[in-house]
């Protein structure tokens, strides 16, 4: 399990993406120019096989290990309001 902060970004066609960073870490420089809004802070992010904010846990842990953050893939974006 990892504690994370979750950010959300509205996109075209009423879709949204999620960005997950380890708790209390700043947003990475490559995403600060985008309109990310705080969605939830201090979230328990687990490798339990269930989706977290459209993110597959194994993929998210891999992305965090590689880049320091995880972001929704284009094909995994969802209609705004469908995910909590």
Position 84 confidence tier, pLDDT thresholds 50, 70, 90:
very low
In tens, the pLDDT along 36-47 reads: 888 999 988 888
Q: Please state, in angstroms and rounded to a whole number, the distance separating the CA atoms of residues 51 and 55.
A: 6
In tens, the pLDDT along 27-81 reads: 888 777 778 888 999 988 888 767 677 788 888 999 999 999 998 876 565 566 5
If we measure between CA atoms, which residue out of 3, 19, 7 comes closest to residue 76? 19
If we measure between CA atoms, which residue out of 49, 71, 66 comes closest to residue 4? 71
8 vs 11: which has the higher pLDDT:
8
Contact call for residues 6 and 40 (beta carbons, < 8 A): yes
The two three-digit tokens of residue 47, written as one number:
């490798």
């Amino acid at each position: 399990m990892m504690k994370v902060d979750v950010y959300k970004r509205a996109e075209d066609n009423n879709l949204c993406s999620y960005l997950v960073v380890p708790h209390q870490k700043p947003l990475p420089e490559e995403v600060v120019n985008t309109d990310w809004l705080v969605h939830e802070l201090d979230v328990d992010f687990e490798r339990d096989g269930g989706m977290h904010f459209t993110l597959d846990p194994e993929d998210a842990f891999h992305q965090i290990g590689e880049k320091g953050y995880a972001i929704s893939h284009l094909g995994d974006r969802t209609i705004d309001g469908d995910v909590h």
